[in-house]
Amino acid sequence: MKTNLFQYVPGNSVIHRMNPVTKILLTIVICVAAFLSGNLFYLAGLLVVDLLIGIIAGVAGKTWTIFKGLLKIAIFLFVLQILLVRNGTPVLWIITDEGLLTAARVVIRLVVVCMPLALVLAVTRVTDLTNSLVQVLHVPYQYAFTLSTAIRFVPQFLEEMAGIMEAQTARGVAFDKARGLKKFSMILPLCAPLLISSVRRTDQTAAAAEVRGFRLRTRTSGYKKYPFTAVDLGAVLFCALLLAGAILLK
């Protein structure tokens, strides 16, 4: 009913079909590239790449939502930066050219880096992500399981939170009239029971995994295999291109 921001969106795009490991590689490369290069044009180019990936994957709407969310944080950081940086020549009031540049770099980097991190979960099943980590990269299964449980936990937690807010609103707690920080401070005291029930649940989830052979699982247990295909080769080449660009356009 509520579409969760980080929840998987089924699809059959090129991005969906890519090997999960390649998707992780692409994410990491975008992050690294964003920090290697300080060139504003190059960074803007990376941002376009981020948005294009979202559009190709057929999750344009979600990409836009993530982008808008990040933009709010970005604007806040931008203002903070231009007020804090003292070097360079003043342009207007206490704002310097150096400050503007640094601020622009910081916020574009932030958006560029966060977008693929969020997108990768929207276009990859968590199970594929962890299974491929185990199969291809030989990550111990216990770690991969912890990761997937943590991710699985997010929508569960949000569902529970929405349920609690609804129940409290119905008994007269004015959640429906509060906004922003006020709302946040109202939710906080309610988190105690939420945490108790979550911890109780985690233990049971561990038990549920155990009685279905958690300990028997090996690297090769996964039913689905994750071969590398031409799409992945293309993506790797694209990654190399991005890195080269970052180094050239320092």
Partner 1 sequence: MIVFQDLSFTYKGEKQPALQEVCLTVPDGGFLGVIGPAGAGKTTLARAISGMIPHHYSGDYYGSVTVNGLDTVETSLDEISQLVGMVFQDVDSQIISPMVEDEMLYGLENFGVPREEIPGRVEDALEKVGIADLRDRTIGSLSGGQRQKVAIASILALKPRILVLDEPTGELDPRSSRQVFSLLKELNEEQGITVILIEQKIMLLCEFARQLAVLNGGRVIFQGETREVLAHSDELQALGVNCPRVTTLSSILSEKTGEKQPACINLDEAEAMVRRLIP
Partner 2 sequence: MIQAEHVSFSYSDQGPTVQDVSFHIEKGDFVAILGANGAGKTTTVRLIDGLIRPTQGKVLIHGADTATSPVSERARRVGFLFQNPDRQICKNTVREEILFGLKTVRGDESEEALNARCEEVLKDFGFSGDEEPFSLSRGQRQRVALASILAVEPEVLILDEPTTGLDYLECCHIMDRIRRMNREQQVTVVMVCHDMEVVLDYAQRALVMAGGKLLADGPVREIFRDAELMEKASILPPQMIGLSLRLGEGFEQADTPDAMAEAVLARRGEGGKRHEN
* Distance of alpha carbon 60 from alpha carbon 116, whole angstroms: 13
Give yes or no for residue 179 binding partner 2 (CB under 8 A).
no
* Distance of alpha carbon 159 from alpha carbon 177, whole angstroms: 20
Q: Which of 40, 52, 60, 174 binds partner 2 (CB under 8 A)?
A: 174
Min separation Cβ 212 and partner 1, Å: 4
Give yes or no for residue 12 binding partner 1 (CB under 8 A).
no
- Residues 121-140 touching partner 1, rule: CB under 8 A, are 125-127
Which of 3/218 has CB closer to partner 2?
A: 3
Q: Which does 195 bind (CB under 5 to 8 A by kind): partner 2, partner 1, none?
A: none
Q: Which does 93 bind (CB under 5 to 8 A by kind): partner 2, partner 1, none?
A: none
Name every residue whose Cβ is closer than 8 Å to that of residue 222 and which is 6 or more positions away in sequence. 131, 134, 135
Min separation Cβ 249 and partner 2, Å: 42
* Distance of alpha carbon 84 from alpha carbon 175, whole angstroms: 36
* Distance of alpha carbon 62 from alpha carbon 44, whole angstroms: 20
To which H or E segment does residue 156 belong?
helix 141-170
Q: Which of 173, 209, 236, 249 binds partner 2 (CB under 8 A)?
A: 173
What are the C-alpha distances in Å from 184 to residues 161, 188, 190?
A: 12, 6, 10
Binding positions for partner 1, rule: CB under 8 A:
1, 4, 7-8, 10, 125-127, 148-149, 151-152, 155-156, 159, 200-202, 204-217, 221-224
